[in-house]
Amino acid sequence: MSIQHIAIIMDGNGRWATQRNRPRTFGHQAGVKSVRSTIEATVKSGIPYLTLFAFSSENWNRPEKEVSKLMDLFLKSIQKETPELNAKGVALNFIGDLSRFSEKLQIKMEAASQQAPEQVRLTLNIAVNYGGRWDIAQAAKQCCEKVLKSPELLPHLGIEEFASHLCLADQPAVDVLIRTGGEHRISNFLLWQSAYAEIFFEDVLWPDFNESTLQSVIERFMNRERRFGQTSEQINA
């Protein structure tokens, strides 16, 4: 049972910093190290797709200073890491409503997505200003526009056609969804794409997440039985 796609809700940066009497942004900085080691571990495991929830549509409600420090961190990380990631065979892709970010950041994100390596070993999707409901609503809007133009398409508008308008339409569904930080919520992440994902809620705070935590999740995944609505007997037959 091979894993094609892992998605991660990276939670717990703020608490990690607070435990050390440091500002929350110190936790986000430490979180970048975990991002780096998780990417490396995913490449090493031969898993071709990784999606990281870096900034949700709800995160704009945080204190202005934290949001602006996070934006700085994204900008610096993209600038610093992209060439090295490309050299390792990692192709970057940003998903979410990017229009709300500064022009400078949008340009950097666009440029980073265009610098694909010759041989892609891992497609890394970074979800920024992303929300699962937003994704479904924007797909619905695109379908409505199509049908308004060509009403004869309506009878053909099923699950597959609808899904082709979602973010990550050309990628496999999420097999493993991990949330660090001990909370048991999906928080409006990849709602449609995680329909049959095995979910792992880990207590570890994101800055402490590393290759061995990822390996432990992968091992536990291997012991789960994915039935996709069928019975155990049918799966084993």
Contacts with ligand FPP by CB under 6 A lie at: 10-15, 24, 28, 31-32, 35, 52, 54, 59, 73-74, 77, 126, 181, 206
Q: Which residue is nearest to ligand FPP (CB)?
A: 14
| Closer residue to ligand FPP in complex, CB, 13/213 | 13
Tell me the C-alpha distance between 41 and 109, whole Å.
Answer: 23
Annotated catalytic, 208?
no
Kindly state the smallest distance separating residue 73's Cβ from ligand FPP, in Å: 5
How many degrees, rounded to 5, is the angle at CA 31 between CA 28 and CA 32?
Answer: 100
Kindly state the smallest distance separating residue 146's Cβ from ligand FPP, in Å: 33
| Closer residue to ligand FPP in complex, CB, 189/206 | 206
How many degrees, rounded to 5, is the angle at CA 177 between CA 172 and CA 179?
Answer: 150
Give the Å distances, CA to CA, from 103 to 8, 77, 78: 27, 17, 15
| Closer residue to ligand FPP in complex, CB, 12/96 | 12
| Closer residue to ligand FPP in complex, CB, 31/131 | 31
Kindly state the smallest distance separating residue 21's Cβ from ligand FPP, in Å: 14
For the chain, the distance separating the N- and C-terminal CA atoms, rounded to the nearest angstrom, is 15
Kindly state the smallest distance separating residue 206's Cβ from ligand FPP, in Å: 6
Nearest to 50 by CA among 209, 227, 176: 176
Tell me the C-alpha distance between 161 and 13, whole Å.
Answer: 38
Tell me the C-alpha distance between 25 and 38, whole Å.
Answer: 20
- Which residues are identified as catalytic? 11, 59
